[in-house]
Amino acid sequence: MPTRAQQVADPAVLDLTDPQTFLDHHPHEMWRPYREHNPLFWHPARHGNPGFWVFTKYDDVMAAYRDNKRFTSERGNVLATLLKGEDSASRKMLAVTDGPRHREIRNLMMKSFSPRVLEPVVEGIRRRTDALIDRAVERGELDFVTEVADRIPIHTIGDLMGIPLQDREQVVDWNAQTLSRYSSEDSELESVMARNEIVLYLSRLMAERRRNPGEDVLSTLANATVDGEPLSDDEIVLNSYSLILGGDESSRASAASAVLAFHEHPGQWRRLKNEEVGLDTATEEVLRWATPTMHFGRHALVDVEWRGHTIRAGEVITLWNSSANFDEDAFADPYTFDLSRSPNKHVSFGHGPHFCLGAYLGRVHMKAMLDALRTKVGTIEVLGEPTRLFSNFGHGHSSMPVRLTPARG
């Protein structure tokens, strides 16, 4: 008779296409029996969607991220598009473009993400974070997600892209609805409409930047050439959209996860407060613990043998960061929140050719948040159950009531 763990790890038990699965099971822990009993398994077809492969082990996830010869992201890189068999942004957006064009566009965009170019943006992150935490401490009780976490990354992206201040709140709201719905009552149509609103908004902004270019990323893309040819309108708008999508959601989720982790692990909060751990190692552990992007995926280009299975050409594989970051074979005591953890080679920003362009800024956001919390906040208390996002892609919260007391002195 199979053990309880083996029963739980039955591939037929989980429906990874249903966001409710990730509310019913905490993603930090739901993967443990799968790594042990079914490290690579075929997720059966459901709800008219095709089946797909599920990678749960750290080494497998890392290897698949690196392998752009046998796997492609050009037909989609998240379940929402992978299972449809195509992505409308294919070969236009960096995340779903491979080969020479991917390298050309990535190299172009990297110029806007060097630490030297980003220096004024980084200063803005620190200034805004300090001001938000100051106001939060003055308030005492507040919703940390909507009143703090939501308000930092969008201004960073806004500064990078020259989005007018009066438009940024609306962009945040649209972005929150794209890949992570607030609840099961929100429809897929609302997500699509929100995505379209962002694209239309960026199209108008692109036209303005062509007439009056500035020093922002959107101006760079709108007026750049590759091999003497300008980028297409779709490439400019969709790559700008991808910066909003990635930079906003992951930083918001990580900030809220940090506060919740300190509430649940007061010993680690004291270590941070007493400067017993460095901000750099603390940042990496919060990013691992939060794992804001639960998965990415690919299509197989050829038949691939993996762990005794044959992945057929054209089949979908999904790489679960939320499992890999808690793999016992890659991290000592992975379910221990340890701000001094080293080494800490998590996959929260992906890996390989599609490693997140905004990783540097993501780390800056978190480091600024941790520094502001430890210097300005005395105690952290989460008041009631936080509201998790209804998503099978983004692990985060839409609401988290907290009480913050000021630091002594």
Tens-place pLDDT, residues 194-204: 889 999 999 99
**DSSP single-letter state for residue 293:** B
Average pLDDT value for residue range 97-110: 92
pLDDT number for residue 249: 74
Q: Which residue has the higher pLDDT, 114 or 268?
A: 268
CATH class of 4-399: mainly alpha
Closest CA to 79 of 293, 267, 264: 293
Cβ atoms within 10 Å, residue 179: 20
* Mean pLDDT, rounded, for 320-332: 98
Share of the chain above pLDDT 70, in %: 94
CA-based angle 49:62:308, to the nearest 5?
A: 65
Backbone φ/ψ region at 277: left (φ over 0), alpha (ψ -120 to 50), beta? beta
Question: Which pLDDT does position 3 carry in this prediction?
Answer: 46
Task: Give the length of the chain.
Answer: 409
Rounded CA separation 172/167 (Å): 9
Q: What is the pLDDT of residues 175-193, one digit of tens each?
A: 777 755 455 555 667 778 8
**pLDDT higher than 70, residue 7:** no
Contact 150, 252 (CB under 8 A): yes
Q: What is the pLDDT of residue 4?
A: 45
Name the residue among 87, 95, 90, 139 with its Cα closest to residue 404: 139
Helix axes 119-139, 359-376, angle to 10 degrees: 40
pLDDT of 306 above 80: yes
Displacement of CA 315 from its chain's centroid (Å): 24
40 phi/psi in degrees, rounded to 5 = -130, 120
pLDDT of 5 higher than 70:
no
Mean per-residue pLDDT, 367-385: 97
Residue with tokens 């591939």: 11
Q: How far is it, in rounded angstroms, from Cα 46 to Cα 42?
A: 12
Q: Is the pTM of this model over 0.75?
A: yes
Angstrom distance (rounded) from CA 409 to CA 399: 30
Mean pLDDT, to the nearest integer, of 244-255? 81
Give the pLDDT band (50/70/90) at residue 216: confident
Q: Give the per-residue pLDDT at 1.
A: 38
Mean pLDDT of the residues in the chain: 91
Looking at residue 28, its pLDDT comes to 77
Which pLDDT value is given to residue 302?
Answer: 98
pLDDT for 129: 96
Residue holding tokens 């594989």? 317
| Sequence-ordered strand ranges (E) for 159-245 | 225-226, 229-230
Residue 151 has pLDDT above 90, yes or no: no
CA distances from 141 to 11, 25, 133, 148, 184 (A): 43, 29, 12, 12, 28
Dihedral sign (CA 243, 60, 179, 26): negative
Does residue 223 have a pLDDT over 80? yes
